[in-house]
Amino acid sequence: MTEHLASVAVLLGIIFSFAKNLDAKNSKKFIWYGVLAGVFAGFALFFIRLSDPKGTNLMLIAFNRRLIIFIAALAILALIAVLFKNLFKIFLNLIFAVLIAAALAYLTPPLIQFTQEFVYFGESGVSTNALLRALGYALGLAVCLLLSLSAFKVHDALSGNAKLAFLTCSLVIFAVEFGAKAILALRNLRLIPRSGIEMFVRTMWSQRGQYPDTFIYLQLILALIMLVYVIVNNLKPIGEFANKALLRKEKARLRNHRRWSWSLFSWSVAAVFILTVLHYYDTKPPAELQPEPYELNNNIIAIDLANVSDGHLHKFSFVTPNKYDVRFLIVKKPAGTAYGVGLDACDICGIAGYYERGNDEVVCRRCDVVMNKNTIGFKGGCNPVPFDYEVKNSKIYIDVNELIKHELRFR
């Protein structure tokens, strides 16, 4: 949520503040129309995809790419309109409203999609993990809304030239962010050839790039500079006052500005904490299961049931004559005395493998799907790929030729 909304939240608050002080009638209300239109369009796009994902998926992907290009063009137009305010004064609110509507139409469908991921495959709908994901969603949304509100209040405390300067800087960051996305979108639509610029953007700022959160941090740094500017310029009253009541009123106004500045600082720190510390713990790879020993005689692997009957996941490894490391798993099923045996790989996620979460969850490393232990050993879904084995004399016997059949999976 924070990665998705924080950058736009700061810009949105600044735009609302700037629009509030324009001379045009109902400027702020006009921006609200853009917000509502964008959210409504985002819901419409989400339900179109939901109702017919196979028939509209490619069409929607192409539409989203064109929408990104449109947003980048609008951001540049808005920047020009701000710099030449007197020339574009009549159209400034319209440009802002359309920009916000387009940006929210692009951002809203993933926000709704996040709610579909509270319960993972194989989990109960009423579980601690589902509750924590829903709580995280709500807290992320709350942080972004409060970040936007604080940016609005702090920017509103600025003077005319400072208002224009900080709005311009925020628009520049936003324009570069969506300009970079537009370059990738143009390339994916085959409207521009492959180039060094496109490769640089993809390497640095794409979702899988080295620094995907660059523009969020730039907006937060801008917010930090803005709040420091407000605090420094609102420390004490300046000038003479006709009476103490007016002086107290001015002190209260300055104190209110400082408080909102500290509010913006607090929510910016919260956003950075989420993007760094919480993100690290959320994406930190789980501890790798170490392969356990087994007996190997005449190309037959023998594993004592007593060593794998504790209900936990056990991993083993066999290196084939062609030097492929074939990993396989064994887990005792909760129901009865059966065992689940399969490769540490699946037909969907390849050799990403599995790990054990808590005491009773086997989870795919790539898609985070929770396996039902009772289905391990059967084909389908994200289950480990099964292979033939035999249980007798309190041991599991595996012919190494069964593993060699699958060695190319682990190349």
Look at the block and give the residue holding tokens 């054990």.
356
- pLDDT value of position 86: 72
Q: How many CB atoms lie within 10 A of CB 104?
A: 22
Q: Where are the domains positioned within the chain?
A: 2-283, 295-410
Mean predicted lDDT score pLDDT of the chain = 88
> Is 124:130 a contact under the CB 8 Å cutoff?
yes
What is the per-residue pLDDT for 20? Answer: 82
Q: Of all residues in the chain, what percent carry a pLDDT higher than 70?
A: 95
Name the residue with tokens 């339900």: 47
Confidence of residue 123 (pLDDT cuts 50, 70, 90): low
Q: Which amino acid, 315? A: K
What is the pTM for the complete model shown? 0.76
CA distance 352 to 367: 9
- The CATH class that applies to domain 295-410 reads mainly beta
| 93, two tokens | 């609110």
Q: Give me the half-sphere count of Cα atoms (radius 13 Å) on the Cβ side of residue 262.
A: 6
Q: How do residues 261-305 score in pLDDT, each as one tens digit? A: 999 999 999 999 999 998 888 777 677 778 889 999 999 999 999
DSSP helix/strand/coil, 250: helix
Confidence check: pLDDT of 139 > 90: yes
pLDDT-based confidence at 379, cuts 50/70/90? confident
The Cα angle at residue 395 between residues 393 and 396, in degrees rounded to 5: 130
The DSSP line for 67-101 is HHHHHHHHHHHHHHHHHTHHHHTTTHHHHHHHHHH
Which amino acid appears at position 193 of this protein? P
Range picked from 227-231, 240-244, 317-321, 370-374 for highest mean pLDDT: 227-231
Q: Which of 19-23, 80-84, 354-358 has the lowest mean pLDDT?
A: 19-23
- Confidence grade of residue 184 (pLDDT, cut at 50, 70, 90): very high
Query: Regarding predicted confidence, which is higher, 361 or 111?
Result: 111
Contact predicate 385/346, CB 8 Å: yes
- Quickly count helices (H) and strands (E) in the chain: 12, 10
H or E segment and range at residue 150:
helix 128-156
Q: Which residues of 180-194 are buried (b: 16+ CB within 10 A; e: fewer)?
A: bbbbbbbbeeeeeee
